[in-house]
Amino acid sequence: MTLRAFLAGLGLSALASVVQAEGWSVSDLGSLDTREDCMRLADATIDSYRATYGGNGFTGRSEWTVGGYDLRGDVVDALIICPIKAGLAAPFLIVFNSDGDNDARGLVAGRLEDIWDRLVAADGSALRETK
């Protein structure tokens, strides 16, 4: 599936659930050498979040996405997407909440970004471009 097709589908699903959807946060996570680096760091980010902040949900994976579900109760989910652009992985983070607590969604998004940044800084094999 191409990134354009995925984003189009995401837009359609967002429109279809607009009554339930309260908020989205989208963050650019820079660039990495490979999708493998991105996926490894995405897994580590979600695992580290759960180890630090809890969350009894589950982690879902595809060829180029890692989803952390139920990061704050059953109302906050996150998806780290690892598309390829110009030969590099161009990861971004989407955090979604289905209740009215947008501050909590923002807090979860900020925590995930901080964990990602720490992991990337500690990983010598990943190329990090400025945001």
Residue 130 lies inside a defined structural domain of this protein:
no
Per-residue pLDDT at 127: 55
Residue 79 lies inside a defined structural domain of this protein:
yes
Residue 116 lies inside a defined structural domain of this protein:
yes
Distance CA 84, CA 56 (A): 31
Residue 70 lies inside a defined structural domain of this protein:
yes
Residue 8 lies inside a defined structural domain of this protein:
no
Strand pairing report for 59-61 and 84-85? unpaired
End-to-end, the C-alpha distance of the chain in Å comes to: 25
Structure token digits, residue 31: 């660039």
pTM for the model: 0.78
12 has pLDDT over 80: no
Mean pLDDT (whole number) for 38-61: 94
Using 50, 70 and 90 to split pLDDT, how confident is the model at 68?
A: very high
Q: Which residues form the domain of 95?
A: 22-122
Distance CA 30, CA 43 (A): 16
**Who wins on pLDDT, 5 or 23?**
23
Residue 3 lies inside a defined structural domain of this protein:
no
Residue 42 lies inside a defined structural domain of this protein:
yes
Contact 121, 128 (CB under 8 A): yes
8 has pLDDT over 60: no
* CATH number, domain containing residue 38: 3.30.310
Residue 15 lies inside a defined structural domain of this protein:
no
